[in-house]
Amino acid sequence: MLDVAIITGGARGIGAGTAKLFAQHGAHVIIADIIDGLGTDLAESIGGRYIHCDVAKEADVEAAVKFALAWKGRLDIMFNNAGVSGPDGSIMRLDMDRVKALVSVNINGIVHGIKYAARAMVESGKGGSIICSASSAASLGGLAGHAYTMSKGAILSLTRSSACELGQHGIRVNCISPHGVPSEMLLFYYRRVFGRDDVTTEEVSSAVGEKGSLIKGRGGSVEDVAHAAVFLASDEAGFITGHNLVIDGGYTSAATGLSFIYQS
């Protein structure tokens, strides 16, 4: 893989893990984030580049794509990974200002990423791969707050509609839906659940592996998602588009409470 890739939200968590793995596979990686210190350090460590980019701002995303074109003359992979968690609680008491802030990142940010990546890829005439981060919450209700769930469902639909238009240009658009991966976002949630600020990734993985996976004792990891992104970006996935790759240990595929029916 000697491709040029932009990863939004690439300074930490799933984005950082994917940036490292892309670089290991030979990609030239641009980390687009608002966490300047972490992003710059990571980019330097993998021989990539960093650009400050708030995906809620259309001009920032356009600038990130132009940065890739100025650096390497092309853009082959766009991983729209940046996202926020937003407000929890009853739908009857949702703070709509916070909902609008979430939408500006989780939905508008994805639209911006697809829009400008597609423009660059169409102009190059060489196609490309656009990957969007959704969530298991897009497939199964009750896993997250209403606003977050809404936004991830929108990403899934946008991925499919974009694939319909862009396939004629050789551009594949796919979605990744992680479940129970101990990113900073999930760690923050579990710290509230456990009432402790020192909850570790190991504890979260163990908790997910116990009740949030069909694979006994196995929770998800950042690396699981990174490997999925590398696959979808590669030629091996050349006939895959409009697809939602769910990385959940089978959780959203089964009514786990009915496991007793398999016992003899």
CA distance 229 to 224: 9
Question: Please, are residues 20 and 39 in contact by the beta-carbon 8 Å criterion?
Answer: no
CA distances (Å), origin 75, targets 126, 173, 230: 9, 14, 15
Q: For the residues of 4-34, what is the DSSP string, one character each?
A: EEEEETTTSHHHHHHHHHHHHTT-EEEEEES
Residues marked as catalytic: 148
> Any idea which residue has 């600020």 for tokens?
197
Rounded to an integer, what is the distance from CA 131 to the centroid of its chain? Answer: 8
> Any idea which residue has 């509609």 for tokens?
161
Q: What tokens were used for 209?
A: 């592996």
> Any idea which residue has 């190059």 for tokens?
124
Closest C-alpha among 103, 166, 154 to residue 130: 166
